[in-house]
Amino acid sequence: MNNQNSNRRRDFIKTSALVTGGLILQPWNIPGAYASGTDEIKLAVIGCGGRGTGAVFQAFETGHNIKLVAMADAFRDRIDKSYEPILDKYGADKVDVPEERKFVGFDAYKEAIKLADVVILAAPPGFRPDHFEESVKQGKQIFMEKPVATDAAGIRRVLAAAEEAKKKKLNVVVGLQRHYQDNYRETIKRIHDGQIGDIVGGQVYWNDGGVWVNARQPGQTEMEYQMRNWYYFNWLCGDHITEQHVHNIDVANWVKKGHPVKAYGTGGRQVRRGKDHGEIFDHHSVTFTYDDGTVIFSECRHFPGAANRVDETFQGTNGSVYLSAGNHGILTDRSGKELYNHDRQNNRNPYQVEHDELWAAIVEGEYKFADAENAAHSTMTSIMGRYATYSGKVVTWDEAINSEVDLMPETLAWDAMPRVLPNEDGYYPHAIPGKTKVF
């Protein structure tokens, strides 16, 4: 490192300390803080599973001078499984995570965040409010996965931390990657330009065969079992309407430039009824009403063998649109004549674009991304949908976002008890629409 760069590095460390002390003075206002390409940017990953590992690869693939310096996970075996392929591909020069910087357990995130300039937050969504709040408090640049919480209590914390992040000018990119996918960007821009008039209705879907199950193993405490099989417990996952369908619900909010004011729906457990299926539903159908009266129908289901559908359609006063992560973006007028058809050849990988754009901003010392508030609103919309399907009642935005129900366990420890426990036969209670009170 030459003198100029080591001075920059010292300035960076000094100003980071000032940020955490509450002063808004940080290197992200300084154009070219890392522009020389010779100064390393330290990265930590929190949650070293599929997405955490994938996001580290994408960070390295940006080609910037990044060093992975810390990893944190609830489980040591997950760190090992993630570390090995990252080290194999990028080498010890880029992957400098000795034993003392592999942090394990519920509090592991705090130590890892301290060591980094930039953090990847990819634990199950129930922990996102803790991890995001701490990252903002410590003044870090952030990539975090969706969803950003599993209940309204968590959403309120994320919204508060998002405000703080804005004040500190911390870039925050959220893995709602359709916002970084060319067909969505180009097509929704045309919708907002009025090419199909005002949007008056829509349908958004995530229907597929479902996801993994981690069966209970002998010797696991209840806490360890739920953590390993996190998809099936609401405090960790939020149900698949939140964990997965948030992507499509987020597109509806993006197109409508806001969130709905109420939700009404139905749902249940038709095919997923085993002991390892926890408490979540396998299907939800919700109508979301927006403040201008627009109704968007949302459907998600996990039925193996049934027809799959993952996409979004909207109707405007002058035409309609079809969008999908398979790179479609087709606008038609009311006679069915094509107005725009996105060229699928030109699409870049949105998971890579998220990192290309985030890291370019960081390297240039620019403040460009504040995704957390939108992500909190889209996550909250999906949670409102869950409140509607679980209760069978009409749920308004105001009552949903002000709900005091906190799903997180009182204590996070391997021998502590989560709030939802199995009955003597090993089955978990789940919501019964019409009977269940969600708040």
Ligand X SMILES: NC(=O)c1ccc[n+]([C@@H]2O[C@H](COP(=O)([O-])OP(=O)(O)OC[C@H]3O[C@@H](n4cnc5c(N)ncnc54)[C@H](O)[C@@H]3O)[C@@H](O)[C@H]2O)c1
Residues that bind ligand X (CB under 6 A): 46-52, 72-75, 78, 106, 108-109, 122-125, 127, 145-146, 175, 177, 227, 243
Minimal distance in Å, beta carbon 218 to ligand X? 19
Minimal distance in Å, beta carbon 121 to ligand X? 9
Taking the CA atoms of 374, 436, 205 and 147 in sequence, report the sign of the dihedral they define.
positive
Maximum distance among all Cα pairs of the chain, rounded to whole angstroms: 69
Q: For 426, which DSSP code?
A: S
Report the residue number, 19 or 144, with the smaller CB distance to ligand X: 144
Minimal distance in Å, beta carbon 429 to ligand X? 23
Report the residue number, 127 or 369, with the smaller CB distance to ligand X: 127
For 131-152, give the DSSP string.
HHHHHHHTT-EEEEPSP--SSH
Taking the CA atoms of 213, 214, 217 and 221 in sequence, report the sign of the dihedral they define.
negative
Minimal distance in Å, beta carbon 62 to ligand X? 17
Report the residue number, 212 or 435, with the smaller CB distance to ligand X: 212
Report the residue number, 69 or 227, with the smaller CB distance to ligand X: 227
By the 8 A CB rule, do 358 and 367 touch? no
Report the residue number, 78 or 386, with the smaller CB distance to ligand X: 78
Report the residue number, 201 or 409, with the smaller CB distance to ligand X: 409
Minimal distance in Å, beta carbon 322 to ligand X? 20
By the 8 A CB rule, do 95 and 85 touch? no
For 176-243, give the DSSP string.
-GGGG-HHHHHHHHHHHTTTT-SEEEEEEEEEES--------TT--HHHHHHHTGGG-TTTS--HHHH
Minimal distance in Å, beta carbon 108 to ligand X? 6
Report the residue number, 147 or 202, with the smaller CB distance to ligand X: 147
For 309-324, give the DSSP string.
EEEEEEEETTEEEEEE
Minimal distance in Å, beta carbon 343 to ligand X? 23
Residue of minimal CB distance from ligand X?
49
What contacts 117, CB < 8 A, 6 or more positions away?
Answer: 12, 16, 41, 42, 43, 140, 141, 362
By the 10 Å C-beta count (0-12 exposed, 13-18 middle, 19+ buried), 170 is classed as buried
Minimal distance in Å, beta carbon 222 to ligand X? 15
Minimal distance in Å, beta carbon 135 to ligand X? 12
For 236-291, give the DSSP string.
TS--HHHHTTHHHHHHHHHHHTS--SEEEEEEE-SS--SGGGTT--SEEEEEEE-T
Report the residue number, 140 or 168, with the smaller CB distance to ligand X: 140
What contacts 82, CB < 8 A, 6 or more positions away?
Answer: 45, 48, 49, 52, 53, 56, 71, 73
